[in-house]
Structures are given as C-alpha cells and as structure tokens.
C-alpha cells in the first residue's frame, strides 16, 4: 500500500507540473496576441526587448522540466 500511495502522489506532482507549464504557455500566447493587436510601437518594442528575452529564458527551464516530466510519465506508465 505504501508503494501505491507514493505512486499516486508522484502522479499528482507530475500532473501539477504539467498544468503549471500549460498555464504558462497559455499566458504567453495571450500576451503575444495582445502585443500583436497593439497599435503602440513602444509597447511592442518593450515586449520584444525587455519581456520576451526573460520569457524565453524561463521557457528554456520549462523545456528541461518537460523532458524530466516525460521521463517520469514513462516510468509511471510501466
């Protein structure tokens, strides 16, 4: 029973991480959409020069996290 409970907790942890990543992807998509619709060139420049590089750096970490979660999902499925 202890192993079964650990497995359930691990599955919940993986699901939470995947949900957080999906929410971040959704927020980024919405932000890009808003910037695209904006007629304000300074807002677009700020996004491209200040915000986007930080977001892309964060996504580099997410990619590593997704790879780790993928490995966990495979091991949980066995």
As for how many domains the chain has, the answer is: 1
Task: Domain of residue 18: give its range.
Answer: 2-77
* Across 1-10, 11-20, 56-65, least confident range: 1-10
The DSSP code sequence of 51-74 is: IHHHHHHHHHHHHHHHHHHHHHHH
Length of the chain counted residue by residue: 78
**Could you give the dihedral angle defined by the CA atoms of residues 64, 35, 46 and 26, in that order, rounded to the nearest 10 degrees?**
-20
- Binning pLDDT at 50, 70 and 90, where does residue 9 land? confident
Q: Are 72 and 14 in contact (CB under 8 A)?
A: yes
Q: What is the pLDDT of residue 17?
A: 85
pLDDT single digits (tens) 27-77? 888 888 888 888 889 888 888 888 888 888 888 888 888 888 777 777 666
Model's pTM, two decimal places?
0.62
């Amino acid at each position: 029973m202890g192993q079964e409970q650990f497995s359930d907790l691990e599955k919940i942890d993986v699901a939470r991480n995947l949900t957080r990543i999906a929410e971040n992807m959704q927020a980024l998509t919405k932000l890009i959409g808003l910037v695209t619709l904006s007629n304000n060139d300074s807002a677009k420049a700020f996004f491209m020069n200040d915000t986007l590089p930080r977001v892309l750096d964060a996504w580099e970490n997410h990619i590593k996290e997704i790879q780790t979660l993928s490995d966990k999902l495979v091991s949980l499925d066995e």
